[in-house]
Structure 1
Amino acid sequence: MKRIRTTGRFERRLAAFAKRHPELLDAVEVAIDSLARGESLTSLRAHRLHGDLAGCYAARIGSAYRLIFIIEDDAVGLIDIGTHDEVYR
């Protein structure tokens, strides 16, 4: 099982996301648990990012939201969460 690491930015964005979308918190938890267990990225509808976010991945949370993360040997780093437009600026 991989460790989950977060950034201060992610913690702040997750708190704001939780206030705006409490109905999606279960989906966020499922996604993070799947990442920690090292499950297939296709189950999260995740894909590798390019450009400024090269080296990162994005997983869908519902249809309009994204969870941005990196995969390391023994950990998953959670970077950002929000709408498509918010996380890709």
Structure 2
Amino acid sequence: MGRSRLPLGQGMLLQPCNSIHMMFMRQSLDLVYIDKGNMIIKKVPNIRPWIGVSMCKKADAVIEMPVGSIEYYGYEVGNILTFIK
């Protein structure tokens, strides 16, 4: 919230989290829901600001990314993500 733009290659991991709303957001986002093993279980491209709501009951976390990220990186349900700290 509050940002006018999120650059490609950046995102935010919300954990634990299985739902989001887009109230007060300025930009559309791509969402990827993951389980406890970091496997993608749902992808939601181009969720719109103010009116968007999304949920995935089985999710442990959601990653919010700039629109186009899902397609650009080729994310598919079943992919396992690795996080580097």
- Please report the TM-score for the alignment, with normalisation by the length of structure 2: 0.29
